């Protein structure tokens, strides 16, 4: 009896080890999602939730956002190869050394990405004098609308990922985050109306990149609350909160090493440099590639995080 239980235990251990998908770990240079996203519900405190967003049959992923989402081209057209070329630290113009999370998610879905994200983008640039000249969601959505893309709503997934640059501007320009949250929701409402009639919208947040503040949390909550209203109006919505991922890597629970990182810093020392000088000795195991910007391995686990929320946080 004891023997058979031991065998069963060993068998189940072997089985769960097999479920760790060693191929994925190898392909991502040993970096893996070492935490399990926690799910919540609409109508309460902000949390990971998928209220009706479908992923099967999606053919097109339309992405709005900042450098975290930018594939190096912002008109929805085909992106340059996501590889480092020559001495530039930017793979095909991306602020990273490979594909960004949205490209990974699109690839996982078997969908084509139409990327409108631009580095430095905020929700509404007029709110933030210190960001004058930067892109915003208003302009990205206007460009998308002007193209009359005629996408099938039933097979198109929209992703909206702003807040990092709005939050950083709020320390200079004052707290206009409540207005930014309201205007982000207004843009989503516009996408959900004729002629686009978006049906599936995923909103993502990482405003503080590991920092937490009352004004930042209020921004996140306002966006989350707005999604409840949109859901009540029939839109399929999901919310992905990356804060636990950043906390898990930058804090001690479980800490960067548990994810397979050699450190929690950046591999390339200066965000504005145009060459690879000073590159770290562990380029494939760095949390950030350029300062403040996820490495391609981090983008991969961000995509894993998104996939988990969409699949498991159904509410």
By CB under 6 A, what part of segment 165-204 binds ligand NAG?
Answer: 183
With CB under 6 A as the contact rule, the residue among 16, 146, 148, 272 that binds ligand NAG is 272
Which residues touch 234 (CB under 8 Å, ≥6 apart)?
none
Which residue's CB is nearer to ligand NAG, number 99 or number 248? 99
Say if residues 72 and 94 touch (Cβ distance below 8 Å).
Answer: yes
Closer to ligand NAG by CB, 94 or 242: give it. Answer: 94
118 in contact with ligand NAG (CB under 6 A): no
Total of chain residues touching ligand NAG, rule CB under 6 A: 13
Q: Which residues contact 117 (CB under 8 A, 6 or more apart)?
A: 63, 64, 65, 66, 67, 68, 69, 70, 71, 74, 102, 140, 161
Question: In angstroms, rounded to a whole number, what is the distance separating the alpha carbons of residues 279 and 269?
Answer: 7
| Smaller CB separation from ligand NAG, 131 or 299 | 131
Write down the least CB distance from residue 132 to ligand NAG, Å. 12
126 binds ligand NAG (CB under 6 A): yes
* Minimum distance from residue 293 beta carbon to ligand NAG (Å): 14
Give dist(CA 123, CA 161) in Å, integer. 9
Binds ligand NAG by CB under 6 A, chosen from 31, 58, 138, 237: 138
Does position 277 interact with ligand NAG (CB under 6 A)? The reply is no
273 is an interface residue for ligand NAG by CB under 6 A: yes
Q: Which residues of 100-139 are buried (b: 16+ CB within 10 A; e: fewer)?
A: bbbbbbbeebebebbbbbbbbbbbbbebbeebeebbbbbb
- Pull the structure tokens for residue 85: 């070329």
Q: Does 27 bind ligand NAG (CB under 6 A)?
A: no
* Alpha-carbon distance values, 231 to 44, 48, 140, 199, 221 (Å): 14, 15, 23, 10, 15
Tokens 């020392």, residue? Answer: 269
Task: Determine the interface stretch with ligand NAG among 81-89, 199-207, 212-220, 300-308 (rule: CB under 6 A).
Answer: 81-89
Select from 7, 20, 270, 277 the one that contacts ligand NAG (CB under 6 A): 270
In the bound complex, what is the minimum distance in angstroms from residue 308's beta carbon to ligand NAG? 31
Q: Which of 21, 81, 232, 257 binds ligand NAG (CB under 6 A)?
A: 81
Helix (H) or strand (E) holding 223: helix 214-232
154 binds ligand NAG, rule: CB under 6 A? no
* Given 7, 20, 27, 85, the residue binding ligand NAG (CB under 6 A): 85
Distance, in Å, from the CA atom of 253 to the CA atom of 247, rounded to the nearest integer, reads 8
Residue ranges that bind ligand NAG, judged by CB under 6 A: 80-81, 83, 85-86, 124, 126-127, 138, 183, 270, 272-273
């Amino acid at each position: 009896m004891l023997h058979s239980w031991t065998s069963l235990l060993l068998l189940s251990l072997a089985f769960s080890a097999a479920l760790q998908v060693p191929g994925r770990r190898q392909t991502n240079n040993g970096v893996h999602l070492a935490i399990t996203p926690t799910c919540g519900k609409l109508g309460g405190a902000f949390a990971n939730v998928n209220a009706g967003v479908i992923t099967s049959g999606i053919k097109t992923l339309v992405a709005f956002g900042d450098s975290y989402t930018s594939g190096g081209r912002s008109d929805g057209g085909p992106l340059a190869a996501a590889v480092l070329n020559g001495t530039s630290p930017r793979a095909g113009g991306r602020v990273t050394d490979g594909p960004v999370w949205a490209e990974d998610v699109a690839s996982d879905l078997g969908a084509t990405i139409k990327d409108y994200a631009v580095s430095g983008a905020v929700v509404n640039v007029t709110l933030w004098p210190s960001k004058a000249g930067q892109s915003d969601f208003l302009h990205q959505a206007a460009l998308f609308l002007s193209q009359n893309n005629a996408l099938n709503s039933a097979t198109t997934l929209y992703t909206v990922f702003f807040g990092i640059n709005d939050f950083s501007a709020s320390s200079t320009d004052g707290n206009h985050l409540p207005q930014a949250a309201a205007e982000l929701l207004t843009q989503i409402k516009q996408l959900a109306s004729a002629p686009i009639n978006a049906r599936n919208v995923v909103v993502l947040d990482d405003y503080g990149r590991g920092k937490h503040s009352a004004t930042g949390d209020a921004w996140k909550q306002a966006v989350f609350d707005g999604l409840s209203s949109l859901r009540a109006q029939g839109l399929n919505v999901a919310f992905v909160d990356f804060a636990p991922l950043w906390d898990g890597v930058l804090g001690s629970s479980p800490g960067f090493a548990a994810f397979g990182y050699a450190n929690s810093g950046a591999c390339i020392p200066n965000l504005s440099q145009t060459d690879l000088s000073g590159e770290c000795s562990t380029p494939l195991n760095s949390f950030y590639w350029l300062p403040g910007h996820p490495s391609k391995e981090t983008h991969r686990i961000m995509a894993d995080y998104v996939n988990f929320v969409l699949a498991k946080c159904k509410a």
